[in-house]
Amino acid sequence: MKEGFKGQRQVLLPQIAFEIINQDKRLSLLHVTALGYYPRAKYHKVTRPNGAEQFILIYCVDGAGWYVLDGHRYEVNTNEVFILPPNRSHGYGSDFNNPWTIYWIHFSGTVAEEYAKGFLVPRSIDPGIQSRITTRNKCFEEIFSIMEQGFELSNMQYASSLLPLYLGSFQNLLSFRNSVLPGDSWHQMLDITDGLIHYMEETINRKMTKQDFANYCGYSVSQMSHFFKEKTGYAPMAYFTMLKIKKACALLKSSNYKIGQICFLVGYSDQLYFSRVFAQYMGMSPTQYRNTAI
Protein backbone atom coordinates (compact mmCIF):
# COMPACT_ATOMS: atom_id res chain seq x y z
CA MET A 1 0.00 0.00 0.00
CA LYS A 2 1.61 3.23 -1.14
CA GLU A 3 1.21 6.17 1.24
CA GLY A 4 0.59 9.04 -1.17
CA PHE A 5 -1.90 11.02 0.95
CA LYS A 6 -1.93 11.15 4.72
CA GLY A 7 -4.44 8.56 5.91
CA GLN A 8 -4.96 6.96 2.52
CA ARG A 9 -5.78 3.29 2.01
CA GLN A 10 -5.72 1.35 -1.22
CA VAL A 11 -5.54 -2.17 -2.62
CA LEU A 12 -4.42 -2.96 -6.16
CA LEU A 13 -4.99 -6.32 -7.80
CA PRO A 14 -1.67 -7.88 -8.94
CA GLN A 15 -1.35 -8.85 -12.57
CA ILE A 16 -1.14 -12.55 -11.74
CA ALA A 17 -4.63 -12.43 -10.19
CA PHE A 18 -6.16 -11.68 -13.59
CA GLU A 19 -5.35 -15.24 -14.63
CA ILE A 20 -7.74 -16.45 -11.92
CA ILE A 21 -10.40 -13.93 -12.98
CA ASN A 22 -10.25 -15.03 -16.61
CA GLN A 23 -10.85 -18.66 -15.59
CA ASP A 24 -13.76 -18.03 -13.22
CA LYS A 25 -17.28 -17.49 -14.58
CA ARG A 26 -18.48 -15.47 -11.58
CA LEU A 27 -15.52 -13.12 -11.62
CA SER A 28 -15.72 -12.65 -15.36
CA LEU A 29 -19.18 -11.10 -14.87
CA LEU A 30 -18.08 -8.42 -12.40
CA HIS A 31 -14.96 -7.92 -10.31
CA VAL A 32 -12.89 -5.34 -8.46
CA THR A 33 -9.44 -4.52 -9.79
CA ALA A 34 -8.52 -1.74 -7.34
CA LEU A 35 -10.13 0.34 -4.62
CA GLY A 36 -9.21 2.90 -2.02
CA TYR A 37 -10.00 5.82 0.23
CA TYR A 38 -8.18 9.17 -0.09
CA PRO A 39 -8.88 11.69 2.70
CA ARG A 40 -8.40 15.40 1.89
CA ALA A 41 -6.25 14.46 -1.09
CA LYS A 42 -4.65 17.81 -1.88
CA TYR A 43 -2.66 17.80 -5.14
CA HIS A 44 -4.43 14.61 -6.25
CA LYS A 45 -4.42 14.60 -10.05
CA VAL A 46 -4.57 11.81 -12.63
CA THR A 47 -4.38 12.13 -16.42
CA ARG A 48 -4.95 9.22 -18.81
CA PRO A 49 -4.92 10.27 -22.50
CA ASN A 50 -6.00 6.76 -23.54
CA GLY A 51 -8.28 6.09 -20.58
CA ALA A 52 -8.15 3.05 -18.32
CA GLU A 53 -9.03 -0.57 -18.98
CA GLN A 54 -11.70 -0.58 -16.25
CA PHE A 55 -14.66 1.53 -15.14
CA ILE A 56 -13.69 3.98 -12.39
CA LEU A 57 -16.17 5.04 -9.71
CA ILE A 58 -15.28 8.07 -7.60
CA TYR A 59 -17.53 8.99 -4.66
CA CYS A 60 -16.75 12.39 -3.14
CA VAL A 61 -17.85 12.50 0.51
CA ASP A 62 -16.21 15.81 1.41
CA GLY A 63 -14.53 18.72 -0.34
CA ALA A 64 -14.59 19.19 -4.10
CA GLY A 65 -12.81 18.19 -7.28
CA TRP A 66 -13.23 17.91 -11.04
CA TYR A 67 -12.87 15.55 -13.96
CA VAL A 68 -12.49 15.84 -17.72
CA LEU A 69 -14.01 13.24 -20.02
CA ASP A 70 -13.45 13.46 -23.78
CA GLY A 71 -12.46 17.10 -23.38
CA HIS A 72 -15.52 18.17 -21.35
CA ARG A 73 -14.90 19.34 -17.77
CA TYR A 74 -17.24 18.59 -14.86
CA GLU A 75 -17.12 20.01 -11.33
CA VAL A 76 -17.60 17.58 -8.44
CA ASN A 77 -18.94 18.61 -5.03
CA THR A 78 -19.47 16.93 -1.67
CA ASN A 79 -21.89 13.96 -1.79
CA GLU A 80 -21.55 13.41 -5.53
CA VAL A 81 -20.52 10.33 -7.48
CA PHE A 82 -19.46 9.70 -11.06
CA ILE A 83 -18.18 6.76 -13.11
CA LEU A 84 -15.64 7.02 -15.91
CA PRO A 85 -15.98 4.49 -18.75
CA PRO A 86 -12.99 2.46 -19.96
CA ASN A 87 -10.75 3.34 -22.88
CA ARG A 88 -11.81 7.00 -23.09
CA SER A 89 -9.53 9.95 -22.51
CA HIS A 90 -9.97 11.42 -19.05
CA GLY A 91 -8.39 13.21 -16.14
CA TYR A 92 -9.49 14.08 -12.63
CA GLY A 93 -8.23 15.79 -9.56
CA SER A 94 -8.88 17.48 -6.26
CA ASP A 95 -9.82 21.12 -5.78
CA PHE A 96 -6.75 23.00 -4.55
CA ASN A 97 -8.53 25.10 -1.92
CA ASN A 98 -11.08 22.49 -0.85
CA PRO A 99 -9.47 19.09 -1.51
CA TRP A 100 -11.80 16.17 -1.86
CA THR A 101 -12.14 13.05 0.26
CA ILE A 102 -13.07 10.14 -1.97
CA TYR A 103 -13.90 6.47 -2.04
CA TRP A 104 -12.91 4.96 -5.39
CA ILE A 105 -13.25 1.59 -7.11
CA HIS A 106 -11.96 0.28 -10.42
CA PHE A 107 -14.20 -2.51 -11.67
CA SER A 108 -14.69 -4.58 -14.80
CA GLY A 109 -16.55 -7.56 -16.22
CA THR A 110 -19.11 -8.44 -18.86
CA VAL A 111 -21.97 -6.80 -16.90
CA ALA A 112 -19.97 -3.84 -15.55
CA GLU A 113 -21.44 -1.45 -18.10
CA GLU A 114 -24.94 -2.08 -16.75
CA TYR A 115 -23.90 -0.82 -13.31
CA ALA A 116 -22.21 2.26 -14.78
CA LYS A 117 -25.13 3.61 -16.79
CA GLY A 118 -26.20 7.16 -15.97
CA PHE A 119 -23.05 8.28 -14.18
CA LEU A 120 -21.10 10.12 -16.88
CA VAL A 121 -22.17 13.34 -15.15
CA PRO A 122 -21.98 13.78 -11.34
CA ARG A 123 -24.99 12.45 -9.44
CA SER A 124 -25.96 13.86 -6.06
CA ILE A 125 -26.13 11.51 -3.07
CA ASP A 126 -27.32 13.93 -0.40
CA PRO A 127 -27.58 12.70 3.21
CA GLY A 128 -31.00 12.40 4.78
CA ILE A 129 -32.93 10.41 7.35
CA GLN A 130 -33.21 7.40 5.01
CA SER A 131 -29.94 7.88 3.15
CA ARG A 132 -28.17 4.81 4.62
CA ILE A 133 -24.72 6.26 3.91
CA THR A 134 -23.29 4.28 6.81
CA THR A 135 -24.60 1.04 5.27
CA ARG A 136 -22.99 1.91 1.93
CA ASN A 137 -19.66 2.76 3.54
CA LYS A 138 -19.71 -0.47 5.57
CA CYS A 139 -20.18 -2.39 2.32
CA PHE A 140 -17.12 -0.65 0.87
CA GLU A 141 -15.12 -1.45 4.01
CA GLU A 142 -16.07 -5.11 3.77
CA ILE A 143 -14.95 -5.28 0.14
CA PHE A 144 -11.72 -3.50 1.09
CA SER A 145 -11.08 -5.76 4.07
CA ILE A 146 -11.45 -9.02 2.16
CA MET A 147 -9.34 -7.77 -0.75
CA GLU A 148 -6.65 -6.58 1.65
CA GLN A 149 -6.42 -10.06 3.16
CA GLY A 150 -5.24 -11.56 -0.12
CA PHE A 151 -6.18 -12.43 -3.68
CA GLU A 152 -7.27 -16.03 -3.26
CA LEU A 153 -10.20 -17.11 -5.44
CA SER A 154 -12.66 -17.18 -2.53
CA ASN A 155 -11.71 -13.65 -1.44
CA MET A 156 -12.15 -12.22 -4.93
CA GLN A 157 -15.44 -14.07 -5.38
CA TYR A 158 -16.78 -12.69 -2.12
CA ALA A 159 -15.69 -9.16 -3.02
CA SER A 160 -17.38 -9.51 -6.40
CA SER A 161 -20.61 -10.66 -4.70
CA LEU A 162 -20.66 -7.48 -2.58
CA LEU A 163 -19.83 -5.16 -5.48
CA PRO A 164 -23.37 -5.21 -7.02
CA LEU A 165 -24.78 -4.07 -3.66
CA TYR A 166 -22.31 -1.20 -3.48
CA LEU A 167 -22.85 -0.11 -7.08
CA GLY A 168 -26.60 -0.65 -6.82
CA SER A 169 -26.79 1.65 -3.80
CA PHE A 170 -25.93 4.47 -6.21
CA GLN A 171 -27.74 3.34 -9.34
CA ASN A 172 -30.98 2.35 -7.57
CA LEU A 173 -30.75 5.06 -4.95
CA LEU A 174 -34.43 5.33 -3.95
CA SER A 175 -34.87 1.56 -3.70
CA PHE A 176 -31.71 1.30 -1.60
CA ARG A 177 -32.97 3.99 0.75
CA ASN A 178 -36.45 2.49 1.02
CA SER A 179 -35.34 -1.09 1.59
CA VAL A 180 -34.73 -0.79 5.34
CA LEU A 181 -36.43 -3.31 7.62
CA PRO A 182 -38.88 -2.42 10.40
CA GLY A 183 -36.79 -1.62 13.44
CA ASP A 184 -34.00 0.08 11.49
CA SER A 185 -33.00 3.36 13.05
CA TRP A 186 -34.84 5.72 10.72
CA HIS A 187 -38.22 4.26 11.67
CA GLN A 188 -37.71 5.70 15.13
CA MET A 189 -36.94 9.22 13.88
CA LEU A 190 -39.86 10.84 15.64
CA ASP A 191 -38.56 14.38 16.03
CA ILE A 192 -35.92 16.77 14.80
CA THR A 193 -33.39 15.77 17.44
CA ASP A 194 -33.44 12.10 16.45
CA GLY A 195 -33.19 13.09 12.80
CA LEU A 196 -30.22 15.31 13.55
CA ILE A 197 -28.43 12.55 15.46
CA HIS A 198 -28.89 10.31 12.42
CA TYR A 199 -27.46 13.05 10.21
CA MET A 200 -24.45 13.35 12.54
CA GLU A 201 -23.83 9.62 12.21
CA GLU A 202 -24.06 9.89 8.41
CA THR A 203 -21.51 12.73 8.30
CA ILE A 204 -19.15 11.51 11.00
CA ASN A 205 -16.19 11.53 8.60
CA ARG A 206 -16.63 15.23 7.84
CA LYS A 207 -15.94 18.51 9.59
CA MET A 208 -19.35 20.00 10.33
CA THR A 209 -20.52 23.23 11.96
CA LYS A 210 -23.56 24.27 13.99
CA GLN A 211 -24.75 26.14 10.90
CA ASP A 212 -24.60 22.92 8.86
CA PHE A 213 -26.78 21.17 11.43
CA ALA A 214 -29.19 24.10 11.62
CA ASN A 215 -29.51 24.15 7.83
CA TYR A 216 -30.34 20.46 7.83
CA CYS A 217 -33.05 20.96 10.46
CA GLY A 218 -34.49 24.10 8.91
CA TYR A 219 -34.13 26.07 12.15
CA SER A 220 -31.85 28.84 13.32
CA VAL A 221 -28.66 27.86 15.13
CA SER A 222 -30.09 29.00 18.47
CA GLN A 223 -33.38 27.11 18.00
CA MET A 224 -31.62 23.97 16.86
CA SER A 225 -29.19 24.12 19.79
CA HIS A 226 -32.02 24.66 22.27
CA PHE A 227 -34.11 21.74 21.00
CA PHE A 228 -31.10 19.43 20.87
CA LYS A 229 -29.78 20.21 24.36
CA GLU A 230 -33.25 20.00 25.87
CA LYS A 231 -33.65 16.47 24.48
CA THR A 232 -30.11 15.09 24.94
CA GLY A 233 -28.49 17.23 27.62
CA TYR A 234 -25.59 17.97 25.27
CA ALA A 235 -24.75 20.86 22.98
CA PRO A 236 -24.87 19.69 19.33
CA MET A 237 -21.13 20.00 18.66
CA ALA A 238 -20.22 18.25 21.91
CA TYR A 239 -22.53 15.38 21.00
CA PHE A 240 -21.06 15.21 17.48
CA THR A 241 -17.56 15.01 18.92
CA MET A 242 -18.70 12.29 21.30
CA LEU A 243 -19.98 10.26 18.33
CA LYS A 244 -16.63 10.71 16.58
CA ILE A 245 -14.71 9.49 19.62
CA LYS A 246 -17.09 6.54 20.02
CA LYS A 247 -16.43 5.59 16.37
CA ALA A 248 -12.69 6.02 16.87
CA CYS A 249 -12.80 3.73 19.91
CA ALA A 250 -14.53 1.04 17.87
CA LEU A 251 -11.95 1.31 15.08
CA LEU A 252 -9.05 1.20 17.53
CA LYS A 253 -10.32 -2.08 18.94
CA SER A 254 -11.70 -3.74 15.81
CA SER A 255 -9.22 -2.78 13.06
CA ASN A 256 -5.54 -2.56 12.30
CA TYR A 257 -5.81 0.96 10.92
CA LYS A 258 -3.09 3.35 11.97
CA ILE A 259 -4.14 6.16 14.27
CA GLY A 260 -3.48 8.63 11.46
CA GLN A 261 -5.96 6.76 9.28
CA ILE A 262 -8.58 6.58 12.02
CA CYS A 263 -8.42 10.32 12.65
CA PHE A 264 -9.34 10.95 8.99
CA LEU A 265 -12.15 8.40 9.11
CA VAL A 266 -13.79 10.37 11.93
CA GLY A 267 -13.27 13.77 10.33
CA TYR A 268 -10.01 15.11 11.75
CA SER A 269 -7.17 16.27 9.50
CA ASP A 270 -4.65 16.82 12.33
CA GLN A 271 -3.58 13.69 14.22
CA LEU A 272 -2.16 15.63 17.16
CA TYR A 273 -5.41 17.56 17.60
CA PHE A 274 -7.41 14.34 17.30
CA SER A 275 -5.26 12.73 20.02
CA ARG A 276 -5.81 15.70 22.34
CA VAL A 277 -9.58 15.58 21.84
CA PHE A 278 -9.57 11.81 22.32
CA ALA A 279 -7.66 12.15 25.59
CA GLN A 280 -10.09 14.80 26.83
CA TYR A 281 -13.03 12.47 26.29
CA MET A 282 -11.46 9.12 27.21
CA GLY A 283 -8.80 10.08 29.75
CA MET A 284 -6.05 8.39 27.77
CA SER A 285 -4.38 8.60 24.37
CA PRO A 286 -5.59 6.56 21.36
CA THR A 287 -2.52 4.31 21.67
CA GLN A 288 -3.18 3.66 25.35
CA TYR A 289 -6.82 2.90 24.60
CA ARG A 290 -5.85 0.43 21.87
CA ASN A 291 -3.50 -1.37 24.25
CA THR A 292 -5.98 -1.47 27.13
CA ALA A 293 -7.72 -4.77 27.73
CA ILE A 294 -11.51 -4.48 27.90
Q: Considering the chain, what is the average pLDDT of its residues?
A: 87
How far CA 178 is from CA of 102, 166, 191, in Å, comes to: 25, 15, 19
34-46 residue pLDDT tens: 999 998 888 899 9
The pLDDT, as a whole number, for residue 294 is 53
Q: Distance of CA 154 to CAs 137, 139, 184, Å? A: 22, 17, 31
DSSP assignments along 183-232, one per residue = TSGGGG--SHHHHHHHHHHHTTTS---HHHHHHHHTS-HHHHHHHHHHHH
For residue 127, the model assigns a pLDDT of: 74
CB atoms within 10 A of CB 46: 13
Tell me the mean pLDDT in the region 144-152. Answer: 89
Question: Which strand (E) or helix (H) includes residue 95?
Answer: none
What counts of helices (H) and strands (E) characterise the chain? 13, 10
Q: What is the pLDDT of residue 2?
A: 40
Tell me the residue type at 52: A
Q: Are residues 147 and 32 in contact, defined by beta-carbon separation less than 8 angstroms?
A: yes
Q: Which of 107-111, 218-222, 259-263, 264-268 has the lowest mean pLDDT?
A: 218-222
Q: What is the pLDDT of residues 195-209, one digit of tens each?
A: 888 889 888 988 899
Domains of the chain: 9-176 (2.60.120.280), 189-291 (1.10.10.60)
Digit-coded pLDDT (tens) for 40-66: 888 899 999 999 999 999 999 989 999
Q: Kind of pairing, strands 9-12 and 55-62? A: unpaired
Q: pLDDT at residue 248 above 60?
A: yes
Output the pLDDT for position 191: 60
Q: Counting Cβ atoms within 10 Å, is residue 89 exposed (0-12), middle (13-18) or buried (19+)?
A: middle
CA distances from 110 to 20, 115, 122 (A): 16, 11, 24
pLDDT at 189: 38
Q: What is the pLDDT of residues 109-138, one digit of tens each?
A: 999 999 999 999 999 987 766 678 878 888
Per residue in 170-182, pLDDT (tens digit) is: 998 888 877 765 5
Residue 228 has a CB neighbour count (10 Å cut-off) of 26
Q: Where does residue 111 fall: left (phi above 0), alpha (psi -120 to 50 degrees), or beta otherwise?
A: alpha
Among residues 105, 61, 102, 51, which one has the least CA distance to residue 83?
A: 105
Query: Residue 257 — pLDDT band, cuts 50, 70, 90?
Result: confident
